[in-house]
Amino acid sequence: MSRTRTALLAAMALVAGATGTAFAVDPGGAEVAAVPCTVDYKIQNQWSTGFTAAVTVTNNSAAKSSWSLKWSYAGNQKVTSGWNAKLSQSGAAVTAANKSYNAQLATGGSVSFGFQGSYSGSNAIPATFTLDGVTCNVDSGGPGGPTDPPDPGGPANRANNPYDGAKVYVNPEWSANAAAEPGGSRIANQPTGVWLDRTAAINGAGGKMGLRAHLDEALRQKGSGELVVQLVIYNLPGRDCAALASNGELKADEIDRYRTEYIDPIKAILADSKYSSLRIVTTVEIDSLPNLVTNTGSRPTATPQCDVMKANGNYIKGVGYALNKLGDVPNVYNYVDAGHHGWIGWDDNFGPSATLFKEAATAEGATVNDVHGFITNTANYSALKEDHFSISDNVAGKSVRESNWVDWNRYVDELSFAQAFRNQLVSAGFPSGIGMLIDTSRNGWGGTARPTGPGAQTTVDTYVDGGRYDRRINPGNWCNQSGAGLGERPQASPAAGIDAYVWMKPPGESDGASKEIPNPEGKGFDRMCDPTYEGNPRNGNNPSGALADAPLSGHWFSAQFRQLMQNAYPPLS
């Protein structure tokens, strides 16, 4: 039975009297018995040894206070992990039972869950499903029936890596600012992210281009080839709970406004068939989810604002809603922000962060298949690769982990962290095909201060401090860092597990004002952007290392841009 006909029968089912038999009117006019339940089993992603599947069960019989769905595989498929259901397997037989939070299944109601599995040979969709012992109709969701494999590239023919074989959109507004600086023409043609950091940015604010204008320009740049457009989705309620420079327009409890005034209009534009030939990459809500791990509860880095956001769940809900809605658009590739090594590289942050990301990716109707990958180091300065010391080195009887700089972190640079965190995310239940992006826009750390070899082996601190490329006072410093340089130029597939190096943060756009500036954008003043500030627990109570005379976040900062060019690594020619 086709999906359309199944839906019609379910929608038009009439509950009969004492017999309890349900009937529906067939589109051809005949009265037929309606099936008691339908199952939509979709293979979302498939590779040589594994797959992910999404299952939706619709109950057309009496309401249930608990449920159990069973099926058997014809091949050697094994369920390895799952979400939103208790999954067990004995031989070929699989049982999916409700969790406590989705036990209720009303008449006409549906419940969805998903899982990851392994297989070899064929991966046919099961022919029969039973809900509490009653056989359901099977809606295979594919033109070739239950055994039809997914199309190449996964859902909706998405590319495995959207950056492969594609140009990337050059924002003409950023390009003009760059070209206006002395020597800026050398990099004015580089692709950067378009930041949708408030609702007004969707239609254009302050004379700037809106989303449609950017997409129209992207079509012009695309020509006959493939082109990626990079968007930053950045407007959660109670945004940036551990910082002030980039606080947003929505209050902590305004999740409904986030859904209806921000995400829904963005989705409507992205879903316009006019833009279906573009590859649209979204960076979803930077600096949000990691805050719930590191800056809440009894930790010394906790803030009252982050405790509020953890308690009300609106970061989880907002990210889940964004992934669900934007993931419905066939040419959108969602990448969730995953902090950076100097934030969640420690043992007590690493695993819990991956678990929390999984929670967000399965909230508000989203599934892990709405996530194409993750991005690290967004708008940050962590060095891509430290060549002069490693986490396994020992100096003067001490491990590098004991140095003040590393401070017991497991990672010393962004590439090793991103590759390891990708594996952790897969272990947490994300598809094994996910890729990572690394923002290299400001992590080059070149110029005369760039070390050319290891530091002196007098102590572990002289060894690390003398050899590290990252010249920040502390890896917790994040605002307009003095001495920073442009990093690796954007490129596709630069390393194992890495989809691309990107410039998601446009170089030359400020992280925050170095002093309080009244503004209508909802942006506060954070002392971490004040060069005279002596720090807080989140940066080990060290000086901020920020540049002076910085404008509001997102505004053009000429002095910073010139510094970034001067200290670029690889150097600019």
- In whole angstroms, what is the distance from residue 352 CA to residue 553 CA? 30
CB neighbours of residue 403 within 10 Å: 23
> Using alpha carbons only, how large is the chain's radius of gyration in Å?
26
DSSP 3-state of 503: coil
Give the C-alpha separation, 42 to 158, whole Å.
16
Please enumerate in sequence order all residues whose Cβ is within 8 A of that of 196, keeping only pairs 6 or more positions apart, or say none.
202, 211, 231, 232, 233, 234, 235, 266
- Local structure of 97: helix, strand or coil: strand
Q: Is 48 left (phi over 0), alpha (psi -120 to 50) or beta?
A: alpha
Give dist(CA 447, CA 569) in Å, integer: 8
Q: Which residues of 135-174 are buried (b: 16+ CB within 10 A; e: fewer)?
A: ebbbbbbbeeebeeebeeebbeebbebbbeebbbbbbbbb
User: Alpha-carbon distance 553 to 246, whole Å?
Assistant: 6
For the annotated catalytic residues, the residue numbers are 287, 511
What residue type is 137 in one-letter code?
Answer: N
Q: What is the largest CA-CA distance in the chain?
A: 89
Contact call for residues 512 and 529 (beta carbons, < 8 A): yes
